[in-house]
Amino acid sequence: MSADRRVMKAAVLLAFLAVGAILYFAAVAFIPVALGLFFALLLSPAVDRLQRLRMPRGLAAAIVMLALLLAGAVVVDGVSTPAKEWLARAPQTLRKLEQRIKPVRSVIAQVDAVKERADQLTEGPHAAAPAPAQPPASGSSYAFAMTQSLFEAITVFPLTLFFLAGGPPLLARMASALSGSQKSAACLRVTEAIRAELGRYFGTVALINLGLGLATAATMAALGMPNPILWGTVAAVLNFIPFVGPITTLGILAIAAFVTFPNIGQALAVPGAFLGLHLIESQLVQPLFVGHRLDVSALVVLLAVWFGFWFWGIPGVMLAVPLLVALKVAAEHVEGWRPVLEFLSPSPQWRPLKIARAEAAGGRRVSIVLADGVSRSA
């Protein structure tokens, strides 16, 4: 490797680390912008359809945002009453749950006592004194954090509206500013491809999650769970978060069923039914309607969700999968990004069908026959 290439790779790595540090430490400024741009990309197909009807783009963007707010208000109004009922019964629910898990708590207490005794025997008579308790956080810092979060949430709405109203001309100006006039056309084509694919992908995922919510509500009603609409809404909303969302829904349903039904079999039927619905949705429905064009490796998605949460918290979790989808679409349209595309895509062709060992002149050689019929030796 030449010295110039090493210097170039080092410069790219330093620039990447510098951008990451800026995004991390200036999260308060960048999170609303990122969320606004993401929602604008998702809603832009609806605005484009209204614009084809000779409607000004600003008015079309305002109508789409108003319709989205009204739909959100209807959903919140529909689930607010059962949610308030469950919150009002929270003390009774916790007492009932404590009675149910009392045998388990006694076993855990015995294990903790044995562990504490073992630690005392190991440390000897000169065990270190426990650390003093830290004072609780002041009320002013908590109020400042809440005010800051509220301001970020409010800022997302006007940013989304302005990004929607700007449309392709705004994307063209951003592409020209970021890449220069010579590459602005190519950058705009990639941006338009990302915009179209993201809208199609998440529109399909939204319909699938809506179907999952309706199926969950119907199943909960058939099993005798109170407030089935609430559980269907929880399942539909949390299913937008990969891995974490379905697991959270499963835990919530298990706890709710555990404190609702006296029979353990009836209580286990609730999370079992939702697990079956989720398996049908993830293994059959989503591959059938979404397809493998925008399919991303499950390990990469899991790592992106984890690092997104560490980087930006809940907004990072929301943006993890869209960023992966956008990166994959960009890798499909940019020349020289083939390694990025192969890294993001699942590789079922690498499943070995047969491993054959043969003696070579210089030692042992391992030949692996893959699912695509290609043989590789090591």
Please give the pLDDT value at position 132: 54
* Domain around 322: 3-116+153-346
Domain-located, residue 142? no
End-to-end CA distance of the chain: 25
- The average confidence (pLDDT) of the chain is 75
356 plus 214 within the same structural domain: no
353 plus 231 within the same structural domain: no
- Sequence-ordered strand ranges (E) for the chain: 352-360, 363-370, 375-377
258 plus 320 within the same structural domain: yes
pLDDT tens column, 55-109: 888 888 889 889 888 888 887 777 777 777 766 766 666 666 666 666 656 666 6
- Cβ burial, residue 236 (10 Å; 0-12/13-18/19+): buried
310 to each of 171, 305, 317, 324, how far by Cα in Å? 29, 9, 9, 16
220 plus 353 within the same structural domain: no
Q: Of 25-39, 183-197, 306-320, 357-371, where does mean pLDDT reach its minimum?
A: 357-371
Share of the chain above pLDDT 90, in %: 9
Segment 333-361 mean pLDDT: 63
Domain-located, residue 36? yes
306 plus 371 within the same structural domain: no
335 plus 366 within the same structural domain: no
Pull the structure tokens for residue 323.
Answer: 């960023």
Whether 214 has a pLDDT exceeding 70, the answer reads yes
Name which residue leads in pLDDT, 365 or 275: 275
Long-range pairs for 107-112: beta carbons < 8 A, 24 or more residues apart = none
d(CA 54, CA 165): 15
Pull the structure tokens for residue 215.
Answer: 């199926």
Name which residue leads in pLDDT, 70 or 188: 70
Domain-located, residue 83? yes
Element (H, E) at 134: none
Residues facing 301 on adjacent strands: none
Count the alpha carbons within 13 Å of 12 in the hemisphere toward its beta carbon: 6
**String of b and e for 173-204 (b: at least 16 CB within 10 Å)?**
ebbbeeeeeeebeebbebbbebbebbbebbee
Whether 284 has a pLDDT exceeding 90, the answer reads no
Which residue type does 167 have? Answer: G
d(CA 54, CA 3): 57
Please give the pLDDT value at position 173: 64
Q: Of 12-26, 89-103, 350-364, where does mean pLDDT reach its minimum?
A: 350-364
d(CA 318, CA 154): 17
The 3-class secondary structure across 271-319, one letter per residue, is HHHHHHHHHHHHHHHHHHHHCCCCCCCHHHHHHHHHHHHHHHCHHHHHH
Please give the pLDDT value at position 319: 84
**Contact between 44 and 202 (Cβ < 8 Å):** no
Domain-located, residue 377? yes
Name which residue leads in pLDDT, 375 or 122: 122
**Contact between 196 and 329 (Cβ < 8 Å):** no
290 plus 239 within the same structural domain: yes
202: CB partners within 8 A, 6+ apart: 42, 322
Please give the pLDDT value at position 356: 45
Please give the pLDDT value at position 368: 47
96 plus 32 within the same structural domain: yes
Residues facing 359 on adjacent strands: 364
Tell me the pTM. 0.68
Name which residue leads in pLDDT, 122 or 246: 246
Domain-located, residue 147? no
161 plus 296 within the same structural domain: yes
Sole residue written with tokens 């030449």? 2
Segment 172-190 mean pLDDT: 63
Looking at the 3D structure of the chain, how many domains does it have? 2
**Contact between 172 and 187 (Cβ < 8 Å):** no
Domain-located, residue 129? no
302 plus 185 within the same structural domain: yes
- Sequence-ordered strand ranges (E) for 46-166: none
331 to each of 24, 38, 327, 336, how far by Cα in Å? 25, 19, 6, 8
Please give the pLDDT value at position 357: 46
Segment 300-315 mean pLDDT: 83
Domain-located, residue 166? yes
Domain-located, residue 101? yes
248 plus 355 within the same structural domain: no
245 plus 358 within the same structural domain: no
